[in-house]
Structure formats: C-alpha cells, structure tokens
Amino acid sequence: MGDACSCGGCVGSKIGCDNVLDKFPEQKADLEKYMDSLPIGKEKEANRGLLIQCLHKAQGIYGYLPESVQLFVANKLGLHLSEVYGVISFYSYFTDIPVGENKINVCLGTACFVKGADKVMAEFERVLGVKDGQTTENGKFTLGGLRCVGACSLAPVVMVNDRVYGNVTPAMVGDIIADCK
Amino acid sequence: MINLTINNQPVSVEEGSTILEAAGKLGIRIPTLCHIKLDCFNVEHRVGSCRVCVVEVEGRPNLAPSCCTPVMEGMVVKTNTIRAINARRTMLDLILSDHPKDCLTCEKNLECELQNLAQEMGLHRIVYEGEQSTYPKDMANESIVRDLNKCIMCRRCETACNEIQTVGILSGVRRGFEAVVAPSGERPLNETKCTFCGQCVAACPVGALTEMDHTYAVWRALNDKTKTVVVQTAPAVRAAIGEMFGIMEGCTTGKMVTGLRMLGFDKVFDTDFTADLTIMEETHELIERVKAGKNLPILTSCCPGWVKFFEHQFPDMINIPSSAKSPQQMFGAVAKTFYAEKIGVKPEDMVVVSVMPCLAKKYEASREEFNSSGARDVDIVISTRELGKMFQEAGILFEKLEDSEYDSPLGESTGAAVIFGATGGVLEAALRTAADWLTGEDLKDIDFKAVRGFEAIREATVNVAGMDIKVAVASGLGNARKLLEKIRSGEADYTAIEIMACPGGCLNGGGQPYIHGDTSILKKRMDALYAEDTGKTIRKSHQNPDIKKIYEEFFGEPGSHKAHELLHTHYKARTNA
Ligand code: SF4
Ligand code: SF4
Ligand code: FES
C-alpha cells in the first residue's frame, strides 16, 4: 500500500492514490450508504451476487478502484480481497488504475471489429497520442477497448462515458473528441 | 436410492451422488483432473472445469462431466465409448498445448496428475502447438515456488486457501488465455497474508505450486569439512517418509535415522526432544495462567502457519498464544548454545538442518528473531519429500535399511512428543504433564481420547487433578478462525486450545508426500503416530531423563530466566493484503 497521500485531490485530479477512503469522507459515506441499502447477509455466497453492483457504484464514485476501496467492499461483503480483485481483473469495465475524466471505449467485439473498429481505434490512438489502455498526459482521456456492448446493429460502436456513438468511422473521431469538451 | 447402469452394470447409489461416485462403487475408474475430494475433512472441490471426466449418458446430446453430474433414476451411462475417450484426449491435448513440456526437470516429475493422465490415456504426441504463457516465477519467499506457466486452472489451490484455510490469498484473475491464479494485485506471496501452510501446494495436481527446494544447501553443508552438521526430524516425518519407498503403514523412525547417518550427518537428533521441552515450558505457562486466572485461554504456538495467521488476522489477540517457541526453533537455540558449548564447537561452525512435514517451517526458520546463538538458529529446512529425494539421490534403499537409534542427548524423547504430529497431540501431551504436576502423582490414565481424531473442532471438558478444564482443538485455519472468533466475542470460555494450520495436523503438512486426494493415507499416518506413542516406555514429557538433565545442567526450572531467553518468543501484529 502506498504512503500517506500528499496529492491533495485524487478524485478531481485523477492522480493515483491509495488513500482515497480517508481523504474523501463524503464519497466514502456515499458508498457506505449505498451498500447499507443492500440486503447483505451472513452468507458469503449470497453476498457474492451483490459484488458487481457495489464495484459499479464504487467506480462511479471514485473513477477507479484502488486497493483500499476494494478492501472496503470486500470486508463489507465478507469476501476475500483476492476474490474482489479477481472480479475486477476479469471485467474490462473495471479498473484499479486511475482513469481520465472521459473514458473513450471502442467496442472490439466481433461485429464491430468486422465493420472496422480496429481502424477507429487506430485513429483515436493517433489523435490522442496514447495506446489502448492508456490515459492522456493531461488526465482528460482514457482510451480503451471493450468486448461486445450489445449494440451490434450500430457497429462499429464507441462509448464515451455513458454516451453511445453508432456507425462510427475514423472521420468522426475528431468530432467525438470535441464533443467531450 | 437411485438405480442406474454404467457400462451395462446395474448400480444403486444415494440420491445426490455423482456419476463418478457411482462408477467408483462399480470399480470403474473415470479419469479426473480438476476434481478433488478429501473425505475425512468433508471437502469437495467440484468445479467441472477440465472436462477430462466426460462420459456418455443415453438420451443426452452432450457428453456429461461425471464429477459434477448427479445420477438420475434409470440413467444409462457409458464411460468408455470412443466418443468419450476421444473427447477426453482432446481436452488433454488442449491443456498440453499451453503447458511446458519439461517433465524431466519438473519438481513434480512422477507426482504430476497431468503427466499420469497423459500416460494413462496414451497420448504420444503433441497435437496442438501454439502460444505459450510466459509468467515470471514467484520465488521471493522461503517456502513456495509459483510457476504459473504450468497452471492448468483447476482452481484446487483456491479451495485449499479460501475455503479450507480461509486465508483468501488466491483467486482466478484476468480472463481467457491471460487467466492465472494469483494474489490480489498479482503480488508475490511474501507481500501477502499467506501463511506458507503449503496446503495449496498439496492440492495442486501439477508443478505450478511446489516447495522451495533446499536440498542442495544440505549437500553443500554435508560436504564442508569445517562444519559440524546436525539434523533434527519432526514427529510427523517418521509416519510418512516410508510412503516414498512403498512402506505405507507404521512409523519408519529407525530406518530414517540410519538413512540420515548414511547421508553423512554428524549427529542425528530428534525434534521430539524439543517437543518434550515445549511441553515443559507451555504447561508451566498454562498452570501459571490458570492459577492467576488471567489471559486465558492459552493457545499453542508450535505451528508457524498458525502463528502467521493470527499475527495478520487477529492482531488484537497476539498476547494469548503461549510464548513458547516451536520445537523446531527450540532445537535450533539449544543446539547452537547448550550443545555447541558441550561439544566445544563454535555456533558459527555448526549447521542445523531440520526435516519437517511443513513448508511454513522454512519461513519460520528465517524469521529474524530466531537468532539466540547470534545468527540463524536453524540454517536449512527441508520437507519430508525433499529428504525422500535426497535418499533416492544418494542411492539409499530405504526399505532395506536396518533400524538405528537417535544420538544423545538431543535425541531422547517420549510418547507425548511423537503425537505432536497429529492434531490434538500437543494438547494431550500438555494435559499428561499438567495432571501429574498438579496432583504430584504419576497418573496411569493418560489417554485423552476426546481430543483425538479428524473432526474439525473437538471440545472436551477434562478432569485434571480434580479441576474441570475446558479444552478445544482445531486443525485447518478455517476451523481455527471459528474458534478465535468465539473467543474474541467472549462466547467461549476455554482454558487451553490447540491449533494446527493444516487439516489433521502436521501429518497432513504441506511438505509431506503427496496423497492425491486419498485421505485413507492420513488415517494410517495418525494410527502410526499413536502406535509409536503406546510403544514407548516413557509417555510423559517431564519424565524424559534427558529433559530432566537439561533443566538440571542448564535451564534450572521451566519458565526460568534462561528458559525465557532461549525458549520463548514474541509475536507481532501484521497487516498486508
Ligand atoms: S500457503 Fe496456505 S495461505 Fe499461502 S497461498 Fe497457499 S494455501 Fe494460502
Ligand atoms: S496453481 Fe495448481 S492448483 Fe492452482 S489452479 Fe493452477 S494447476 Fe490448479
Ligand atoms: S474432473 Fe470433472 S470436470 Fe475436471
């Protein structure tokens, strides 16, 4: 675990920091309130069913899932930290490294790929100057690939935060980025 | 009962049984790989991931994995059709496509379940050549090597660590070709709460999890003319080492001692001697605490896996385990002070080797506080398996050896010490001594059978010198956790508790010969240890003549200043993921 944090504002600045729980009591209260509203019981197996939604909420709050947050969720659900980490590492949606303000995700599922998602991805990489999985230096954008998002009729699909763009061509990349500003 | 036929043979089994179990009843073997069942601990790992156990079920379009398909009335099963056999072979071919083919130099060579299956099913060539995983090995700790390139994702280690031990270190991470079993954050084991109990190593069917081999260091020491090399053997080793040479029943203590002399050790000593010493110190502490009526229950502290477990998981309770060192560390301290002085050898010219049923003992010996002699008290720790390999390397035909006796003075021991190797044994040994000390008599009724056996948690109220003492025994860290939680909440009022990290105690330690799921072997080891106890003329630690002598000559009384200096330790609260 990292040393005491001195960055002064992990959530806003997206700088990696493992002290977010203590640093941001309001956010922690938010997560706690959400988890307390769930039917968490004594049975580990039943609680496991609640894990994904808790992680979803936590990532919504913090932007990513540092270990202290994983441990918080694990303890509340009575799960082992390793099990929580296993789930986070399984789903490409979750991340334990800090991400940019805007998450640009290019679907690389079969349908999108066949319709040219790789070219869209390459264009994003060129314009943003980062590779798949990386965050731009100014902390504004994180570029990633996704497995199928279930919108194959719109292939190729790009998701920017909660917004979905369909039938994307490399020519549209500049406008999509401009939309974020 | 459910009636079905398998390979044209009728069979009836209880509802809820699997096809695999029904086939077993008929004497039909179906190969398995990911499945493992440990009968005496009620543990079954049934994930159905490898599909090596598939069979044909009439009326079903798909082959069924027999390890996790329940039987149904009237079911017609064929285990040996060409379709089933081909499917199994394909599954194995696929597993082998991403498995290193370095069997010749693999730690698990001839003990690997994948290798056995390939042989049994007659695979003679590699069908699929493809990309191979390239994970770096984790060798950053003293006990366990993780070589995930050999992992077949059966997840047996996860059940061992998370369900049985509840330590929760291992989990499947990432997915697809990149999937591995790893601690959170994919840290090396030494940066986690791992107890080094080695139960994951015992569970792993292949060479992905193995012990850190220290045999070469032993060979080097044995060939160094300037060193006096002494060896100690833990109680449970004698009940299992014979298995590696086809001796499946009884202790082979005498042969093992002969073999160790043939390897070239200057003195062959017994950890049982310091097990007796442990009982002296621990029982003294128990009686003191009972008299004072505080800091109870007292918990045993001879198991390093257990010690690391409570340091991480119950840091608020680190004052209740006994402060007595484990027999291994008492031996190291005594050998390099008392004994070195006696024979006029400088501690730095002495090498202390331990043979242990355990992988956590390797870690324990490296803990920095164990340096009573000024440097490491126990220099090298090898497992029962490693000793067996050394015998093989040296061309020692173990089964043909004559018996011989341990050297004096650190080789004399009692029946109380030998049962340290079985769950419940330490507590029973302490009760034997406590009863005598409190009554001032030499009691005859010394078999405390209520604390023996493989049951998860055993509780008993035993009458010692007219006093009712409530005791409990747990083996397996999951069971230990249950007891500890009861103590923490104030729900339990025990006086003394014995805990061993491995289910069944040291006889099922992570360094013992592999049992591949056959728990009848554990039963035999337990019987062997209790038979060795009953066969001894002296069965109480405080009556060991050499123990009496060492107190007269060196320590004074149990709990003396000198005893505290050399035979006791302290614990530290630890965190980490
Ligand atoms: S040695 Fe024990 S605690 Fe460590 S990973 Fe293996 S099973 Fe878990
Ligand atoms: S490390 Fe061994 S026990 Fe664990 S999943 Fe891999 S092959 Fe199975
Ligand atoms: S042994 Fe049945 S699926 Fe692996």
Residues A70, A106: one domain? no
What is the rounded CA–CA span in Å between residue A163 and residue B515? 56
pLDDT at B464: 85
What is the rounded CA–CA span in Å between residue B459 and residue B462? 10
Residues B316, B450: one domain? yes
Domain end (from B211, B233, B252): B211
What is the rounded CA–CA span in Å between residue B411 and residue B276? 11
Residues of B in contact with A72 (CB under 8 A): none
Using DSSP's 3-state secondary structure scheme, residue B39 falls into helix
- The number of distinct structural domains making up chain B is 3
Establish if A1 belongs to a structural domain. no
At B86-126, the pLDDT tens digits run: 999 999 999 999 999 999 999 999 999 999 999 999 998 99
Kindly tell me the burial class for residue B569, based on how many C-beta atoms sit within 10 Å of its own C-beta (0-12, 13-18, 19 or more): buried
Closest CA of chain B from A82, distance in Å: 4
At A61-79, the pLDDT tens digits run: 998 999 999 999 999 999 9
Pocket residue to mutate for ligand 3, from B53, B114, B121, most atoms within 8 A of Cβ: B53
Return the amino acid letter for A11: V
At B184-239, the pLDDT tens digits run: 999 999 999 999 999 999 999 999 999 999 999 999 999 999 999 999 999 999 99
User: What's the mean pLDDT when you consider all of chain A?
Assistant: 87
Domain end (from B67, B95, B123): B95
At B444-500, the pLDDT tens digits run: 989 999 999 999 999 999 988 888 899 999 999 999 999 999 999 999 899 999 999
Residues A107, A79: one domain? no
Nearest-by-Cβ selection for B162 from A80, A84, A89: A80
CATH number for the domain including B85? 3.10.20.740
Assess contact for B397 and B254: CB atoms under 8 A.
Answer: no
Establish if A83 belongs to a structural domain. yes
DSSP state of B217: H
At B215-228, the pLDDT tens digits run: 999 999 999 999 99
pLDDT at A9: 38
What is the rounded CA–CA span in Å between residue A24 and residue B119? 59
Domain end (from B95, B119, B153): B95
Residues B366, B413: one domain? yes
Residues A81, A135: one domain? no
- The number of distinct structural domains making up chain A is 2
Closest CA of chain A from B148, distance in Å: 16
Establish if A71 belongs to a structural domain. yes
Residue of minimum CA distance from atom 1 in ligand 3: B32
Looking at the predicted structure, is the pLDDT value of residue A3 above 60?
Answer: no
DSSP string, B486-516: HHHTT----SEEEEESSTTSGGG-TTSPP-T
Residues B187, B290: one domain? no
Assess contact for B263 and B288: CB atoms under 8 A.
Answer: no
At B352-395, the pLDDT tens digits run: 999 999 999 999 999 999 999 999 999 999 999 999 999 999 99
At A158-174, the pLDDT tens digits run: 999 889 999 999 999 99
Residues B150, B134: one domain? yes
Query: Which residues on neighbouring strands pair with residue B146, listed in sequence order?
Result: B138, B209
DSSP state of B163: I
DSSP state of B160: I
Domain that holds residue B48: 2-95
Query: Which residues on neighbouring strands pair with residue B568, listed in sequence order?
Result: B324
Residues of B in contact with A70 (CB under 8 A): 184
Residues B344, B452: one domain? yes
CATH number for the domain including A143? 3.40.30.10
Q: Whole-structure pTM over 0.95, yes or no?
A: no
What is the rounded CA–CA span in Å between residue B17 and residue B10? 15
ipTM of the complex: 0.83
Domain end (from A37, A63, A90): A90
At B324-355, the pLDDT tens digits run: 999 999 999 999 999 999 999 999 999 999 99
Residues of A in contact with B168 (CB under 8 A): 79-83
Domain that holds residue A30: 20-90
Establish if B525 belongs to a structural domain. yes
DSSP string, A33-69: HHHHTS---S-HHHHHTTHHHHHHHHHHHHSS--HHH
Ligand 2 neighbour B390 (Cβ under 6 A): no
Pocket-forming residues, ligand 1, beta carbon under 6 Å: B 144, 160-161, 165, 167, 169-170, 194-200
Residues B297, B158: one domain? no
Catalytic residues of B, by residue number, are 282, 285, 302, 322, 361, 364, 369, 506
| Measured CA angle at B376 (ends B372, B378), to 5 deg | 100
